[in-house]
Structure 1
Amino acid sequence: MDHVDEWSALADAWARWWAPAAAPAQRAILDAARVGSGTRVLDVGCGTGELVAMAVERGAVAAGCDAAEGMIDVARRRSPDADLRVAHAERLPWPDDSFDLVALVNALAFTDVAQTLVECRRVGAAVAVATWAEDDLNELTVLERVVAGEDHEPSDETREEGHLGTLLAEHGFTVETEQLAPAPMVLADADELVAAIMFGESDELRAELRPDVLAAARPFRRPDGSYLLHNAFRWALARR
């Protein structure tokens, strides 16, 4: 099973545990771009279609693409009237000037960045990019370190303040704004916490690491047994 097939197989779990985490950044982008009735929006690397659904709710003409067919299947169930296609970010299957806004949320880093931004510039008047902020602003990092162990890779400069704006400017865009979006994550109980943090891992590894994950998560446990993790996204909006 290749990487794309793996994402397809995990689409339903992704939609439940991780896709909602980006909602604050997605809403901030749509607000900043003044997305409303008739706005043409494309979400590149749309995953299970949360931003597309938000845009549709605002009356936008929404489209999305993802390389994983399973992700697109879930997105189509969510937004059956949207233009959703299996496609790669470096080869967008839409004509020039098709969109008012092209968004990439947690997607750009998985592509050929230069070619993807060329394509976004070709099809859209504006582009918005979002990614997780640096480790120090994400309490999830504490738990990710437990799961990854020695394989954990700390965040780098691509997740720090100023990077997204600089990147867009280097590729010929005029940056309008770059901001931080708080993205708290609430998990109802220990089972949900372990399921989310160990998304995609085997049942055996999940059982093995559960005690360590819960021990690390103790500072985030609330009196009712739920867990609150304070996290953040960085995002930028620019025009060509």
Structure 2
Amino acid sequence: MTPTLVPHHPARDWAEIQERMLVPLYEAVYDRLGVGAGTRVLGLRCGSGLALLMAAARGASVVGADRDHARVELARERLPEAVTVTEEPPEGVPYDVITAFHTTDRLLPELVAVTRTAQPGTTVVLAGWGPPERCATEPVLRVGARLADRRPGLVTDLDGLVAGAGLRPDGSGRVACPFGYANEGSAVRGLLSTGAFDEAVRATDLGQVEKEIAEALAPHVRADGTVWMPNVFRYVVARVR
């Protein structure tokens, strides 16, 4: 049965439902890099700012950038005044760490533009889905690929992005990030907010996409109505040459 959904607000659904699913990834990266007082962090594709807030709570000096105006506005509402969030990365500001926790293959031009002016040795972290066999959400995301008539696939070529941006590889890691939702309706809203189904919505209609996501979620609905999908995310660490 298709769940009854509240109106579709992708930016707010991302902030209120989906973004917290990646907290283990943010924590693992910050722990590995020793992000803390004195660290200057730039968050690319920062969304509504949870990763920025976590870095700021560690004492880091934080700036975020995201081209989604609605998410930027939410980030500005949620974050302390000391955290700057813009739609384009500020120019001429030095950073110790540049993160892109929500990497897509379309990130390369943005990544090149930012790292071209970064100081040698600046740390860059890119993150994306892990192996499909380790991601329970993979069959659900295939719905979007099928409806949009494009090739399915979860794994962004993080190593290719590092090479394409002219960065020096410096390690990688994997982090368990299970997706857990209170009910099917929440799961559908959260997944829609990721952007993975945007092409499918444009190619068909929102109602059809919601229906098919709900059907694909059926194996992950537990007896109490909650939805649980174990996933593994991968990140790579690189340095500006």
TM over 0.5: yes
| Inter-partner Cα distance in structure 1 for 2:164 and 2:104 | 15
Percent of counterpart pairs with the same letter? Answer: 25
The number of equivalent residue pairs is 221
| Inter-partner Cα distance in structure 2 for 1:137 and 1:180 | 11
Q: Report the equivalent of 2:91.
A: 94
- Alpha carbons of structure 1 residues 133 and 152: separation in structure 2 relative to 1, 3 Å: farther
Q: Report the equivalent of 1:37.
A: 37
| Inter-partner Cα distance in structure 2 for 1:134 and 1:60 | 31
| Inter-partner Cα distance in structure 2 for 1:213 and 1:239 | 38
TM-score by structure 2 length?
0.78
TM-score by structure 1 length?
0.78
Report the CA distance between 1:166 and its aligned residue. Answer: 5.5
Unaligned runs of 5+ in 2: 1-8
- Kept in 2, the 8 Å contact 1:183–1:231? The answer is yes
| Correspondent of 1:192 among 162, 186, 204 | 186
- Alpha carbons of structure 1 residues 165 and 215: separation in structure 2 relative to 1, 3 Å: closer
Amino acid at match of 2:228: L
Amino acid at match of 1:217: L
Please list the CA deviations of residues 121-170 of structure 1 after superposition, one character each: whole Å capped at 9, or x if unmatched.
523511101112243222112223345545353217x53xxx53464256
How much is the aligned-residue C-alpha RMSD, in angstroms? 2.8
| Inter-partner Cα distance in structure 2 for 1:148 and 1:154 | 5
Q: Does 1:231 align with 2:231?
A: yes
The aligned runs of 1:61-140 (5 Å cut-off) are 61-80=61-80, 81-87=82-88, 92-95=89-92, 98-111=94-107, 113=108, 116-123=111-118, 125-140=122-137
SS at 1:12's partner residue? helix
| Inter-partner Cα distance in structure 1 for 2:104 and 2:212 | 32
Please list the CA deviations of residues 184-209 of structure 1 after superposition, one character each: whole Å capped at 9, or x if unmatched.
0101112212323344659x956556
SS at 2:92's partner residue? coil
- Alpha carbons of structure 1 residues 172 and 183: separation in structure 2 relative to 1, 3 Å: same
SS at 1:18's partner residue? helix
- Alpha carbons of structure 1 residues 178 and 166: separation in structure 2 relative to 1, 3 Å: farther
- Kept in 2, the 8 Å contact 1:105–1:129? The answer is yes
Q: Report the equivalent of 1:155.
A: 153
- Alpha carbons of structure 1 residues 118 and 209: separation in structure 2 relative to 1, 3 Å: closer
| Inter-partner Cα distance in structure 1 for 2:219 and 2:30 | 33
| Inter-partner Cα distance in structure 2 for 1:94 and 1:142 | 40
Amino acid at match of 2:151: E
Report the CA distance between 1:49 and its aligned residue. Answer: 0.9
- Kept in 1, the 8 Å contact 2:111–2:165? The answer is no
Unaligned runs of 5+ in 1: 1-8
